[in-house]
Structure 1
Amino acid sequence: MSLDGSYDCLTKTPMGDQKSVFTVKTDGDSFTGSNVGAMGSLDVVDGKVDGNTLTWKMNMVVPMPMTLDCTATIDGDTLTGTINAGAFGQMPMTGTRQG
């Protein structure tokens, strides 16, 4: 099953729940995409695919510059993952494939 698509996501952050749309476009064992929400658009950096597990980084600018280390597993239309925000710890991320 293809992992490609757009996912309506919810990330539980210290600043409250953040909704976003996470897009995935795989190419072999790598992928590109973005996570777009109220805090702006973050591009996927160094996206890797291992089976149905994705790992990637995002360079956050707002509210402070920080590199986020992310991992997610896609099971059917459900995405479950974590975003590691350094000193702020791990933030759970869940999502559902659109359409």
Structure 2
Amino acid sequence: MRIDGQYKLSLKTPVGEQQGMMSLKTDGTTLSGNLQNTKGEVAFSGGSVQGNQIAFDTRIPTPIGKLKAHVTGQVSGTHFSGLAKLPLGSAQIEGDRIS
């Protein structure tokens, strides 16, 4: 299963739909990468990969500062679907690999 790559994302957040990018890089069962949206970019490391399932913790840039997020999801072909658990609720994530 190929997980590595750049993904164009659409997030359905408690404050409306947002667009962004996500870069994923695997090293065995360890995951790292970065997230980018209109408010900035943040790198993460220490995530995990199990088959096509991923999980990582990060701080997402928002208009009110960086919010802690726990992201889980799966890659199916070139499609990513997941969920970000945020202090203000959850955000559904959908996206497709572009590279």
- The alignment's TM-score, normalised by the length of structure 1, stands at 0.89
CA contact (8 A) 2:39 2:61 kept: no
2:74 is matched with which residue?
A: 73
1:72 Cα offset (Å): 1.0
Distance in 2, Cα, partners of 1:71 & 1:7:
15
Distance in 1, Cα, partners of 2:96 & 2:86:
22
Distance in 2, Cα, partners of 1:95 & 1:6:
10
| Equivalent runs, 1:11-90 vs 2, <5 Å | 11-62=11-62, 63-86=64-87, 88-90=88-90
- The alignment's TM-score, normalised by the length of structure 2, stands at 0.89
1:43 Cα offset (Å): 1.6
2:8 is matched with which residue?
A: 8
Runs of 4+ in 1 over 4 A off after TM superposition: none
1:41 Cα offset (Å): 0.7
1:52 Cα offset (Å): 0.5
CA contact (8 A) 2:40 2:61 kept: no
Distance in 1, Cα, partners of 2:60 & 2:96:
23
C-alpha deviations, 1:47-93, integer Å up to 9, x for none?
1101101100111353234310110100000100000002x211100
- Aligned residue for 1:59, secondary structure, equals strand
Question: Any gaps of 5 or more consecutive residues in structure 2?
Answer: none
CA contact (8 A) 2:14 2:90 kept: no
C-alpha deviations, 1:4-52, integer Å up to 9, x for none?
0001101111222111110001000011101111121122242110110
- Aligned residue for 1:44, secondary structure, equals strand
- Aligned residue for 1:2, secondary structure, equals coil
Distance in 2, Cα, partners of 1:35 & 1:13:
15
